[in-house]
Amino acid sequence: MEQLVWCKVKQFLEILRCEDIDRESRVDTQEFQMAKQKLHDKDIVYQQSMAKIPGEEREKIKDYVETLKEYSFEECQQSYMQGMIDCMLTLSGAGILKPRKELEKMVQLLVQS
């Protein structure tokens, strides 16, 4: 049962990270905005190029791009969760979050799920 609870905590943190894009505390760096624009510009060229490629080859490329997107998403999720765990450990080390053993157990459950 405890494993299920921490699985739900992990899901909640993932939802918080991905869905609440209008919150005041959202980090939106200039570098991110520039990268987003660059991706948009390159996507136009990508779509034009893909239209010229024969069907079977186009599907292989699309499959690769989708796999790359999945990997990128999961890499971001992992970084976000690592940041949350590091934050909790820092607060625990500072004595703000207690007890430490409970936090360590929670971290282990999050890492395993």
- Whether omega for the bond prior to residue 99 falls within 30 degrees of 0, making it cis, is yes
Specify the range with the lowest mean pLDDT, choosing from 12-26, 29-43, 48-62, 86-100: 12-26
In angstroms and rounded to an integer, the radius of gyration of the C-alpha atoms of the chain is 20
Q: How confident is the model at residue 27 (pLDDT cuts 50, 70, 90)?
A: confident
Q: Phi and psi for 44 in degrees, rounded to 5?
A: -60, -45
> Does residue 13 surpass a pLDDT of 60?
yes
Distance of CA 9 to the CA centre of its chain: 15
What's the mean per-residue pLDDT of the chain?
Answer: 82
CA torsion angle 103 106 107 113 (round to 10):
180
> Do the Cβ atoms of 92 and 103 come closer than 8 Å?
yes
Q: 């893909």: which residue's tokens?
A: 50
> How far is Cα 76 from Cα 65, in angstroms, rounded to an integer?
16
